[in-house]
Amino acid sequence: MTKALAMISGGLDSTLAAKLIKNQGIDVIGICFKSYFFGAENAKRAAEQIEIPIKIVDFSKEHLNMVKNPKHGFGKNMNPCIDCHAMMMNYTGKLLEKYKADFIITGEVLNQRPMSQNKASLNLVKKESGFSDKILRPLCAKNLLPTKMELEGLVDREKLLGISGRGRKVQMELAEKWNIKEYPSPAGGCKLTEPSYSKRLKDLLEHNENPSDKDIYLLRYGRHFRISDNAKIISTRTEKEAKEIKEYLDSKNLIFFAVDFNGSMCIITGKPLMEDIEFAGSITARYSKGKNEKIVKIKYGNFNNSLNNYIESKPASEEDINKYII
């Protein structure tokens, strides 16, 4: 029986591409990639909806190394889409033998994204993957030259599609027809496409070439302030965020709270000087209910230890915020 490995992100396009091939009577296995910048939950839900098995590949370390210096550069933010797609295709290609599969499916659509999905970019991704003769793009296949799989009769080209451009009408109609109801918005899910996250990641890599897992996961939370080469402040926005961020803290981190007012928890990462600690107090005061007070009493100490240190802080000014926020 013909078998294919479908690269499943959890988005609608990759889900539809896998379903389209499955409907030809081909055995389809989903392959989902997990890294620091995107997870596998959407892909798991997508695979369940179209009833295919899914395998999760965690390539966080390798992916981060590529993000530091992508061969083909970045998109609008820190998203190296061409290098990322080629890297995932290469990984998937190396799994063909393991799963005794014949080819790879992707959900790419010609001209849906001007930089990474024009014809030249799609061809470049195929070439860079090292498995160019094994890649099929079912949603836009009729806009491209026939692949080896089509020419050899493994796939019926007449049952493939010729979608092009940024419109979603065809995809939405297919989703309704096939009862696919759960899927994220287009381009959703990858933190590297988000402007604020990209700025934080760029700042982190400029100050720490080899960040820890914890350093990277902390980028997802709160407001970030770069106060020196050795230290950074994070101010949480919500109680839920403050609870979640604690998973990534350790006893080396200093945490700050306003004594008499509810509000943000602040954290310092790195090796702060006393002046950094004082500024963290000002940030804590600024994002507390006492932000309009002249002076706010702040308690601080190492995470998971007693907070026995106190300073009196003037809430940070708007000028201070704008100067240091990332």
Report the pLDDT value the prediction gives residue 182, as an integer from 0 to 100: 81
What residues contact residue 318 under an 8 Å CB cut-off, 6+ apart? none
Report the pLDDT value the prediction gives residue 57, as an integer from 0 to 100: 97
- Confidence bin at 188 (pLDDT 50/70/90): low
% pLDDT > 90, the chain: 86
CA 182 to the chain's CA centroid:
19
DSSP 29-79: EEEEEEBTTB-SHHHHHHHHHHT--EEEEE-HHHHHHHHHS-TT--SSSS-
Report the pLDDT value the prediction gives residue 186, as an integer from 0 to 100: 66
Report the pLDDT value the prediction gives residue 75, as an integer from 0 to 100: 87
- Confidence bin at 168 (pLDDT 50/70/90): confident
Bridge pairing between strands 135-136 and 103-105: parallel
In this structure, of 63-67, 115-119, 144-148, the range with the lowest mean pLDDT score is 115-119
In this predicted structure, the answer to whether residue 205 has a pLDDT above a threshold of 90 is: yes
Mean pLDDT of the chain: 93
124/121 Cα distance (integer angstroms): 5
What global pTM score does this model have? 0.89
Which segments of the chain belong to CATH 3.40.50.620? 3-190
74/192 Cα distance (integer angstroms): 10
Domain 3-190 falls under CATH 3.40.50.620: yes
